[in-house]
Amino acid sequence: MSERRGETRIKPSYPVRIMRDPGLDELPHVRVLNLSEHGLAFVTDSPTRPGDRLRFDAGRVGQMLAKVIGVERLLSGDLRVSCKAIEGRFDIAQPPAQGAA
C-alpha cells in the first residue's frame, strides 16, 4: 500500500463505528478501507460531502472527530470518503483485545 502521505495505514480487522456530528446518526453500509493515526478512508452509499464532520469509534484503538476532505464516486455508485482528524487519534500500534472493539 502506498505511504505517499508519510503515515502508516492499516486495514482494521475490528469494527469501526461512524456517526454524523452533530446528531450522531450512525452511517449504515460502511466498509473501512484503512486508517492511520490521524485519519481514515471508507466506502459508503450514504450521502457524504467534503466538509462534513464525522465521529469514529474504534474501541480501544481510539476515537476521533474528523472532517471529510475528499469524496470520490466509484463505478459501483458508492462513495470513497477520505477524512482527516480534527480531534483525537487512533493508536494503530495498539490492536484491540480479542473479542473487543
44-94 residue pLDDT tens: 999 999 999 999 999 888 999 999 999 999 999 999 999 999 999 998 886
Can you list the domains of the chain with their CATH numbers?
17-88 (2.40.10.220)
| pLDDT surpassing 50 at residue 3 | no
pLDDT recorded at residue 14: 85
The answer to whether the peptide bond before residue 22 is cis (omega within 30 degrees of 0) is: yes
Return the closest-CA partner of residue 48 out of 87, 15, 19, 16: 19
Q: What is the pTM of this model?
A: 0.83
Which amino acid, residue 16? V
- Exposed (0-12), middle (13-18) or buried (19+): which is 48, by Cβ within 10 Å? buried
Residue with cell 493515526: 37
